[in-house]
């Protein structure tokens, strides 16, 4: 870990990353890609030392409330968060200034901040997005060695549901020849039904590979799945999208299960929902004067 001084914190659409880099060790991570121009080792996480100060200044200046987003590049609940508590501080600012909040994580550490998530959701909207890839815990430890187990993440989704926090699952990546079995997808979808997720984001059954993350991914295939690297090279060459041979059948099943259980499964609809700010305080005030 090392500290850096940031010039800005919020993007034009209110996205941010407090950390740059990751310690989860996921073998498929797109954030390793060269296009992101990370100038330090991926595991040597850069922490934006002035991020909270910048965030508060930005929120004070904003004339219009909206949804704040975090976690697109680095998980907001890395092990570092246990001591640095920067994500918690960002949540506290969102609550103080009346903004909504959403983030993507693979960690059950999110439950540490349940009090703030509930408080934000009572005033505006808070949505927790959780990635799920495999129901096989041994495979999970190989693909995502330093994240919460699948069982822990599903339990966290259930706790969030009971607390009234809407959740969205990212069903990705589904690695061809590794976790693209019908049984795996069926079990993940059943878990999503059981914990009543609001929606499931899925761009197709497959994985994306490009310069930077492809090399690391292939190294890990050689390490954990002997012969799999050659299978990928023969099947996909240097393609960006490496789709499962079962993609069509699995996607048909995915959409059918979601439709039957009232789960959002159109990506554009889900993203529109995530971006839509809802001020519940304003709705109460209006009703008083009707």
CB 261 within 8 A of CB 205: no
Confidence at residue 71, expressed as pLDDT on a 0 to 100 scale: 86
Confidence at residue 73, expressed as pLDDT on a 0 to 100 scale: 85
What are the tens digits of pLDDT across the range 43-64?
A: 999 999 999 999 999 999 999 9
Confidence at residue 282, expressed as pLDDT on a 0 to 100 scale: 55
Q: Tell me which fold the domain 2-288 belongs to.
A: TIM Barrel (3.20.20)
- Measured in degrees and rounded to the nearest 5, phi and psi for residue 16 equal -155, 160
| Dist CA 208 CA 81 (whole Å) | 28
All residue ranges of the chain with pLDDT < 50 are: 283-290
3-class secondary structure per residue, 93-144: HHHHHCCEEEEEECCHHHHHHHHHHHHHHHHCCEEEEEEECCCCHHHHHHHC
Q: What tokens appear for 30 in the block?
A: 């797109």
Average pLDDT, whole number, for the chain?
95
Confidence at residue 290, expressed as pLDDT on a 0 to 100 scale: 44
The full set of domain ranges for the chain reads 2-288
Confidence at residue 286, expressed as pLDDT on a 0 to 100 scale: 45
Angle of helix 228-236 versus helix 213-224 axis, rounded to 10: 140
Residue 54, Ramachandran bin (φ over 0: left; ψ between -120 and 50: alpha; else beta):
alpha
What are the tens digits of pLDDT across the range 70-92?
A: 988 899 999 999 999 999 999 99
Q: What's the number of CA atoms in the CB half-sphere (13 Å) around residue 192?
A: 32
| Dist CA 105 CA 52 (whole Å) | 19
């Amino acid at each position: 870990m090392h500290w850096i001084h940031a010039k800005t914190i919020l993007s034009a659409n209110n996205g941010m990353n407090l950390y740059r880099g990751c310690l989860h060790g996921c073998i498929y991570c797109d954030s390793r890609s060269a296009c992101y121009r990370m100038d330090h080792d991926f595991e040597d996480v850069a922490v934006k030392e002035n991020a909270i100060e910048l965030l508060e200044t930005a929120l004070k200046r904003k004339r219009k409330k909206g949804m704040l987003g975090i976690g697109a590049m680095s998980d907001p609940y890395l092990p570092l968060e246990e001591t640095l508590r920067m994500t918690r501080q960002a949540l506290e600012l969102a609550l103080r200034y009346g903004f909504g909040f959403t983030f993507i994580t693979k960690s059950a550490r999110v439950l540490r901040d349940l009090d703030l998530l509930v408080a934000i959701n009572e005033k505006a909207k808070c949505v927790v997005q959780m990635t799920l890839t495999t129901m096989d815990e041994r495979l999970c430890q190989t693909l995502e060695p330093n994240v919460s187990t699948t069982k822990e993440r599903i339990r966290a989704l259930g706790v969030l549901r009971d607390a009234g926090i809407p959740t969205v699952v990212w069903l990705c990546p589904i690695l061809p020849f590794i976790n693209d079995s019908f049984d795996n997808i069926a079990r993940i979808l059943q878990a999503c039904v059981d914990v009543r997720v609001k929606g499931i984001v899925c761009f197709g059954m497959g994985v994306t590979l490009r310069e930077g993350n492809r090399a690391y991914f292939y190294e890990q295939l050689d390490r954990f799945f002997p012969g799999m690297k050659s299978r990928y090279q023969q099947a996909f060459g240097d393609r960006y999208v490496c789709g499962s041979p079962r993609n069509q059948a699995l996607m048909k099943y995915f959409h059918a299960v979601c439709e039957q259980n009232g789960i959002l499964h159109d990506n554009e609809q889900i993203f529109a929902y995530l971006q839509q700010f809802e001020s519940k305080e304003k709705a109460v005030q209006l009703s008083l004067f009707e």
